[in-house]
Amino acid sequence: MDTSRAHVVLDDADIGRAIRRIAHEIVERARGSEDLVLLGVPTRGVPLAERIAGAIASTEGTAVPVGSLDITLYRDDLRLRPARALEYTSIPPEGIDGKTVILVDDVLFSGRTVRAALDALNDLGRPAAVRLAVLIDRGHRELPIRPDFVGKNLPTAIAEEVRVEVAEIDGVDRVTILSAPDDAGNGR
């Protein structure tokens, strides 16, 4: 990573606090933790979902089912790139029918991933409600989609890159903004 244009916006303590707050808000909104299912969107949404479930378990004392939902086959840009490898999907054995599904992703940007996830859920069953939890909302939506639970709102320029790292995958908990390279950003 080119550190000269990287700017750390959340460190591990910030991320921990954000996850605990999201966990509280999910339980508050659902008035308990019954009938909740957390589904992380691979790759980094999955460990985030597991941590939210851990935070709910430590305050509520109940285990919330956690799964992962790969949305690759539902993407709207499949034909723009070569076919990509699939990620792991695992739906908890309880299923999602009649449950409140919390989709968990690291960054909310265009909203297209969430659109694909809603289509995927539609083929898997009929949840009572679907809500969206994201660690970072960086704006620039291209679809009428909004998050229910947000770790941090992060206003960004479209050319900037937001990088979320989680300890389970990257060895460190950190959110970084990478500014656009000067030549690509026309000097702005």
Give CA–CA dist 143/135, Å, rounded. 19
Burial of 68 (0-12, 13-18, 19+ CB in 10 A): buried
Shortest reach from residue 82's CB to other proteins, in Å: 4
Sole binder of other proteins in the list 63, 86, 129, 158 (CB under 8 A): 86
Give CA–CA dist 71/185, Å, rounded. 31
Residue 93 sits in the site that holds other proteins (CB under 8 A): no
Beta strands at 161-165 and 174-178: parallel, antiparallel or unpaired: antiparallel
Please identify, among the stretches 17-25, 44-52, 83-91, 155-163, the one whose residues bind other proteins according to the rule CB under 8 A: 83-91
Residue type, 100: T
Sole binder of other proteins in the list 70, 106, 137, 173 (CB under 8 A): 70
Residue 119 or 148 with smaller CB distance to other proteins: 119
Shortest reach from residue 57's CB to other proteins, in Å: 27
* Longest distance between any two alpha carbons in the chain, whole Å: 53
Count of residues binding other proteins (CB under 8 A)? 19
Residue 74 sits in the site that holds other proteins (CB under 8 A): yes
Radius of gyration of the CA atoms of the chain, in A: 17
Residue 109 sits in the site that holds other proteins (CB under 8 A): no
Residues 125, 127, 131, 135, CA torsion sign: negative
List interacting residues with other proteins (CB under 8 A): 70, 73-74, 78-89, 119, 123-125
